[in-house]
Amino acid sequence: MGKAVLDIARYIDHTLLKPNATKDDIARLCKEAIEYKFKGVCVNSSFIPLVATLLEGEEPIPITVVGFPFGASLSSSKAFEAKEAVSAGAQEIDMVINIGALKEKQYNLVYDDICAVVSECKPCLVKVIIETCFLEKEEKVIACALAKVAGASFIKTSTGFAEGGAKVEDISLIKSIVGDTMQIKASGGIRTYLDAIKMIEAGAERIGSSNSVNIIQGK
């Protein structure tokens, strides 16, 4: 499968979050993840039982999203969704922050929202999606700090459903804030091998993409 697979595959969460995805689509996603040895398979939570079954005994791990894609759900709903997903086999949770609350400077609400999910997921890792395209620089800094204090393991740039995706300058900024205390997942608009390499060089430890196969084939 070549050098590109060995260099990139372990960074990739092979992703399918479209609302019209079918069981056959998810099965194909899992098959590709196993074949190319991706890090994980990221799907909507209703598919987690299927993904957990298909990936049993294999290298890729089941991952799901919570409060997706807007982050505007009740914290109690996010926490319950996360708990149910972990019970169904999810090993990592990618949650969306309450973006409106952050912009209104309701920092306690944002912090408590993240904590609610983190507390229900232990020992599973939580990635906090901050949706960088909606935030000013200062807001990105604050969002990262809140996620860190709340006990999350990753900062994730984007849902892929907003108008902007991952940018190298955002990865560099996040890295300057969290250093080695948290990891970074670049997600949204990463479609080529070169895109992925740029994100990794800037500090990303994980790549979220629905174009994963093309990425590792160097396209």
Domains observed in the chain? 3-216 (3.20.20.70)
- Residuewise pLDDT in 10s, the chain (219 residues): 444 544 799 999 999 999 999 999 999 999 999 999 999 999 999 999 999 999 999 999 999 999 999 999 999 999 999 999 999 999 999 999 999 999 999 999 999 999 999 999 999 999 999 999 999 999 999 999 999 999 999 999 999 999 889 999 999 999 999 999 999 999 999 999 999 999 999 999 999 999 999 999 886
Q: Can you read off the two tokens belonging to residue 136? A: 């000013």
Of the listed 13, 148, 185, 195, which one is catalytic? Answer: 185
pTM over 0.75: yes
176: Cα within 13 Å, side-chain hemisphere: 11
Which residue among the candidates 94, 113, 170, 195 is catalytic per the annotation? 94
The two three-digit tokens of residue 130, written as one number: 């901050």
Catalytic residue among 83, 127, 140, 156: 156
Residue 217's pLDDT is 87
Helices 137-149/168-178 angle, 10° precision:
40
User: What pLDDT sits at residue 109?
Assistant: 98
**Is 219 noted as a catalytic residue in this protein?**
no
pLDDT at 218: 80
Say what the pLDDT of residue 145 is.
98
Q: How far is CA 187 from CA 2, 11, 158, 196, 208, in A?
A: 24, 12, 5, 10, 5
185 is catalytic: yes
